[in-house]
Amino acid sequence: MTARLAIFLLVTTALGVVLRLLLLGTGINIDDAITLYVARAENLQQLFERVVDREFGPPLYFIFMHFFLAIFGESTTALAAPSILFSSLVIPTTYFLAREISNKDNNTAAAVASYFAAISPLAIIYSHEARCYALLTLLTAVTYYLILLLKRHNHLLLKFSLFICASALFYTHYLGIFFFALLGAGYFIKEIIFKEKLGSSLKPALLPLALSLVAFIPWLPSMTTHLSHGTYWVDPTPVLDWPKVFFSNLAATLPLPWIQGLLLLPLFFLGLLITALIPSKRKSLRIFSLKAWQKNPHLIPVLFTLLAATSTLGYITPFILGYSRYMTPFVLLTCFLSGMAVASCLKEKVSRSALLVVALILLFIGIDCTWHVANLGSRDINGLRQLAKDIKQGKYEKSAFLLTPDFDSYTFIYYLEKESSLPLPEAYFTYPRKQERTPSSHRGYVEEWQNEKRQDELLDELSKLDKARYESLIVITDNDLLESTKMPARTRVEQLLSRLKQRYGEAVSPAKEYKGRGRSFKIYRFKLSTGLPAL
């Protein structure tokens, strides 16, 4: 690596770190709260039990957070710090991975890929959450890099390193297995197309990867338990929604804000079609020729993996707005392909004006992503944070509280107890489970929403409130409620509000909203003194 490239990579990494730090003070959301609950386990056995009962993935990240939080505390900064570190390390790793994919002959593509990794909105968004996605992306990049390195240097130490890294990846998230299953299929397809010996592309890496899968066998029963629960909070994605799934997923991986990427993708595919159909002698377009695909043995597997993932994630995983998190490791592939496209346009001699145009485009993309991230960083991720502050300021004195749905309870408790130093209100209820103080278990949770008696039990509890002590009932409802056939959450909450209005009359003032970037809440205030006598 030349001194100029080293400086570029250093500056690019510094830029990525700064962008990630912009989101540091935005608080925690429901998933972060679940991570905190799991990491607070008294020992590893209890941690494993909580992972199986409350999570949908393997335990490695939670084991790390268990020890990390024990040392550094449970502030929002401590919760986010590991993800920021892992995500920042992805930037230089992307450079070395992209350089290896391009057979070490394209420093420009590798440099541009690392720049895109630094400014990727999806990578930045999940770089401050206490979730495994930043670690997942880093381990994916390192594992792929070691696979490619083994092709050139078939050393025992590299094989052992690959085994350790791949095992860690598989124990971080099931997507790690999915990623390399797709990648292996891509190399298999490439070998068939170019009539190569099957298995030749990954031969040195096959044994370490196979041993990594063997090492994963002890977790298979827990994985089966997770799969048996399914994604009960959303209904299966209709097959006819495939264009929406594909373009939404692909847009999420681009180094652009999601909306802009979604709007630009149709234009890109139109340009790609025109390029393929109209003959051209320009060498700058050789990335789209069969010769180019044959020259670089990794382009077909990379493209296949990306397209297969964007086409299927949303069917084998939930597909709702905000679930682009599953695309985080695939950002690596988009960054590489984008870097290759830019480098391809610059390979032949170009004028200074053309170089300036490319530089200005890259600068504009960086400014656009920076503005987008800065805007995200200006707001709390969860509206319960401001509600806790208002409670501390005495805005809801002499009130009982009802929070629904109950899976937001642990987040609310964190903001009350950890940030505002307040005890949990004495009269505090949740729905559908009346006394939920931890993240909800997957076992039996669907049945709780389907059980109509839960509302009767809750209303009976509310009728016993001492009206001399509690003048109002503050009902906190989640604006981002999901509804499915199995879990009719929105319907049940609306039904509950209707029954509360019948008992206590209309809310005494217009509903107040506490908006968060990730989750917002609406507050209804009912006067208990006007309630009907208990039956």
Looking at the fold, whether 363 and 400 belong to one and the same domain comes out as no
Q: What is the pLDDT of residue 277?
A: 62
Which residue shows structure tokens 């607070």? 40
Note whether residue 535 is domain-resident. no
Contact 53, 442 (CB under 8 A): yes
Note whether residue 11 is domain-resident. no
Q: Which residues contact 166 (CB under 8 A, 6 or more apart)?
A: 143, 176, 180, 208, 209, 212
- CA 465/CA 463 separation, integer angstroms: 6
Q: What is the pLDDT of residue 284?
A: 47
Q: In what order do the strands lie in the sheet with 521-527?
A: 428-430, 399-404, 472-478, 521-527, 512-514
- CB atoms inside a 10 Å sphere around CB 373: 23
DSSP 315: T
Which residue shows structure tokens 């890109």? 268
Looking at the fold, whether 372 and 418 belong to one and the same domain comes out as no
- CA 110/CA 94 separation, integer angstroms: 7
Q: Which residues contact 456 (CB under 8 A, 6 or more apart)?
A: none
Full residue range of the structural domain in which residue 45 is found: 19-377
Looking at the fold, whether 350 and 399 belong to one and the same domain comes out as no
Note whether residue 138 is domain-resident. yes
Report CA 169 to chain centroid distance, whole Å: 16
* Rg value, the chain, Cα: 26
**Helices 60-72 and 30-39 sit at what angle, rounded to 10 degrees?**
80
Looking at the fold, whether 90 and 170 belong to one and the same domain comes out as yes
Looking at the fold, whether 41 and 149 belong to one and the same domain comes out as yes
Contact 241, 248 (CB under 8 A): no
Q: What phi and psi, each to the nearest 5 degrees, are found at residue 474?
A: -100, 115
Looking at the fold, whether 321 and 462 belong to one and the same domain comes out as no
Looking at the fold, whether 373 and 391 belong to one and the same domain comes out as no
Note whether residue 150 is domain-resident. yes
Q: What is the pLDDT of residue 158?
A: 95
* Of the residues 323, 350, 377, the one at which a domain ends: 377
Q: Measuring CA to CA, which residue among 464, 435, 281, 369 is closest to residue 12?
A: 369
Global confidence as pTM: 0.93
Contact 109, 4 (CB under 8 A): no
- The number of distinct structural domains making up the chain is 2
For the chain, the straight-line distance linking the first and the last C-alpha, in angstroms and rounded, comes to: 80
Which residue shows structure tokens 């400086």? 7
Q: Which amino acid is at 514?
A: Y
* Residues paired with 399 in a beta bridge: 472
* Residues paired with 476 in a beta bridge: 403, 523
Q: What is the pLDDT along the chain (535 residues), one digit of tens a residue?
A: 688 899 999 999 999 999 999 999 899 999 999 999 999 999 999 999 999 999 999 999 999 999 999 999 999 999 999 999 999 999 999 999 999 998 776 888 999 999 999 999 999 999 999 999 999 999 999 999 999 999 888 899 999 999 999 999 999 999 999 999 999 999 999 889 888 887 788 899 999 999 999 999 999 999 999 998 888 888 999 999 999 999 999 999 999 999 999 998 888 777 666 665 665 555 544 444 555 566 788 889 999 999 999 999 999 988 887 688 999 999 999 999 999 888 877 766 666 777 888 889 899 999 999 999 999 999 999 999 999 999 999 999 999 999 999 999 999 999 999 999 999 999 999 999 988 999 988 888 999 999 989 999 999 999 999 888 999 999 999 998 888 999 999 999 999 999 999 999 988 877 789 999 999 999 999 998 755 443 3
Note whether residue 13 is domain-resident. no
Note whether residue 205 is domain-resident. yes
Note whether residue 353 is domain-resident. yes
Looking at the fold, whether 244 and 114 belong to one and the same domain comes out as yes
Q: What is the pLDDT of residue 534?
A: 39
- Give the chain's largest Cα–Cα span: 86
Looking at the fold, whether 363 and 429 belong to one and the same domain comes out as no
C-alpha angle 153-155-156 in degrees, rounded to nearest 5: 160
* Of the residues 338, 361, 377, the one at which a domain ends: 377
- CA 124/CA 143 separation, integer angstroms: 21
* Of the residues 377, 412, 441, the one at which a domain ends: 377
* SS3 state of residue 436: coil
- CA 346/CA 337 separation, integer angstroms: 14
Looking at the fold, whether 371 and 437 belong to one and the same domain comes out as no
Note whether residue 2 is domain-resident. no
Looking at the fold, whether 345 and 388 belong to one and the same domain comes out as no
Q: What is the pLDDT of residue 530?
A: 58
β-strands 521-527, 512-514: how paired? antiparallel
Q: What is the DSSP string of 318-375?
A: --STTGGGGGGGGHHHHHHHHHHHHHHHHSS---HHHHHHHHHHHHHHHHHHHHHHHH
Looking at the fold, whether 113 and 208 belong to one and the same domain comes out as yes
